[in-house]
């Protein structure tokens, strides 16, 4: 049996940025707060961490800083995937050398790939990595979907241990679960479907919501794991309007606005992203207030 990287909630962490670059003091404060709030893992340099507009030095520096700051208290998972496999493999090797507990490898974006290409691509990462590989399927952003039969083949690799499934297709996730039972852990990649994915045997969620509501996001998982399915679903549904608002514009635009309102970062994103539109931001902040957040 492959070892599970984490169970519960892993926060897809924002990267605090300003016009001068990465704000490492704010990143440290955010990491410490997340750990104090009880999250089960941290994911750095992913989609929410604005990986695509971090240059290589920044990406490596954020990865190293997070690993050093966490200091083995919880797993740190480093986003290393790229549409250039050679570059992604080098970033994966760097993350492994730096002490990452796992790497998160997204499907190649823009140039995409055939299913055979995906198998060869992910195998190259897994062969090169000294730490476990988590596949990341998010076809709405990449234009490339890991089909269930492809996930089944990839699950045979001893170093490919899990998949972050953000296709939004519950039937597909069920198919993957049926094909890979015991060989591939599944994490919900969407906050609006944590409970449905857990019901299919999922191990937890890689979450945007938990940036601002880590305790509550973890509680959804905890309640479910304790057999309190109705209570877990009720909390999922109570948070649904806020989750929807967090995706009213392209991630991470809304969560950056939310975290700025809470004092964790500046409301700053790099082009081609732009700050949240005023009407959307006003609605987001009101929903945060309704959940008891002080903004």
Query: What average pLDDT score do residues 20-40 get?
Result: 98
Looking at the chain, which runs of residues are DSSP E strands? 8-12, 17-18, 21-22, 41-44, 76-79, 102-106, 133-137, 160-165, 185-188, 204-207
Query: What average pLDDT score do residues 177-194 get?
Result: 97
The pLDDT value recorded for residue 3 is 94
The pLDDT value recorded for residue 182 is 87
The pLDDT value recorded for residue 234 is 98
**What are 199-210's pLDDT values in tens digits?**
999 999 999 999
Tokens of 213: 């509501």
The pLDDT value recorded for residue 130 is 93
The pLDDT value recorded for residue 295 is 86
Q: Is 136 annotated in the active site? A: yes
126 contacts 155 by C-beta, under 8 angstroms: no
Mean predicted lDDT score pLDDT of the chain: 97
pLDDT at 10 over 80: yes
Query: What average pLDDT score do residues 18-45 get?
Result: 98
The pLDDT value recorded for residue 215 is 98
**What are 258-293's pLDDT values in tens digits?**
999 999 999 999 999 999 999 999 999 999 999 999
Tokens of 228: 């309190």
**What are 213-243's pLDDT values in tens digits?**
999 999 999 999 999 999 999 999 999 999 9
Catalytic residue among 136, 153, 187, 224: 136
Q: Is 26 annotated in the active site? A: no
Percent of the chain's residues with pLDDT above 90? 98
Q: What residues contact residue 237 under an 8 Å CB cut-off, 6+ apart?
A: none
pLDDT at 1 over 80: no
**What are 125-160's pLDDT values in tens digits?**
999 999 999 999 999 999 999 999 999 999 999 999
137 contacts 165 by C-beta, under 8 angstroms: yes
Catalytic residue among 26, 51, 164, 256: 164
**What are 55-97's pLDDT values in tens digits?**
999 999 999 999 999 999 999 999 999 999 999 999 999 999 9
Homologous superfamily, domain 8-226: Aldolase class I (3.20.20.70)
Delimit the domains of the chain by residue range. 8-226
Distance CA 114, CA 146 (A): 9
40 contacts 7 by C-beta, under 8 angstroms: yes
Instruction: Tell me: cis bond preceding 272? Omega within 30 of 0 counts.
Output: yes
The pLDDT value recorded for residue 60 is 98
């Amino acid at each position: 049996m492959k070892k599970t990287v984490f169970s519960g909630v892993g926060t897809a962490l924002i990267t605090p940025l300003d016009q001068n670059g990465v704000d490492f003091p704010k990143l440290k404060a955010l990491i410490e707060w997340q750990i104090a709030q009880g999250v089960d893992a941290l994911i750095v340099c992913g989609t929410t961490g604005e990986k695509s507009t971090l240059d290589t030095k920044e990406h490596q520096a954020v990865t190293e800083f997070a690993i050093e700051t966490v200091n083995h208290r919880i797993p740190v998972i480093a986003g290393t995937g790229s549409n250039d496999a050679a570059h992604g493999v080098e970033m994966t090797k760097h993350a492994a050398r730096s002490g990452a507990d796992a790497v998160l490898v997204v499907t190649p974006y823009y140039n995409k790939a055939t299913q055979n290409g995906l198998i060869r691509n992910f195998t190259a990462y897994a062969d090169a990595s000294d730490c476990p590989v988590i596949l990341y399927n998010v076809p709405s952003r990449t234009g490339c979907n890991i089909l269930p039969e492809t996930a089944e083949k990839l699950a045979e690799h001893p170093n490919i241990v899990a998949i972050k499934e953000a296709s939004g297709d519950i039937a597909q996730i069920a198919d993957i679960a049926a094909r890979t039972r015991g060989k591939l852990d599944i994490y919900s990649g969407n906050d609006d479907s944590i409970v449905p994915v857990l019901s299919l045997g999922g191990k937890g969620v890689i979450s945007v919501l938990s940036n601002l509501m880590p305790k509550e996001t973890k509680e959804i998982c905890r309640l479910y794991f304790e057999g309190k399915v109705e209570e877990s679903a009720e909390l999922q549904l109570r948070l649904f309007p806020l989750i929807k608002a967090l995706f009213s514009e392209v991630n991470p635009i809304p969560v950056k606005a939310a975290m700025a309102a809470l004092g964790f970062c500046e409301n700053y994103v790099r082009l081609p992203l732009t700050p949240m539109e005023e009407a959307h931001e006003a609605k987001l902040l009101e929903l945060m207030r309704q959940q008891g957040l002080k903004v």
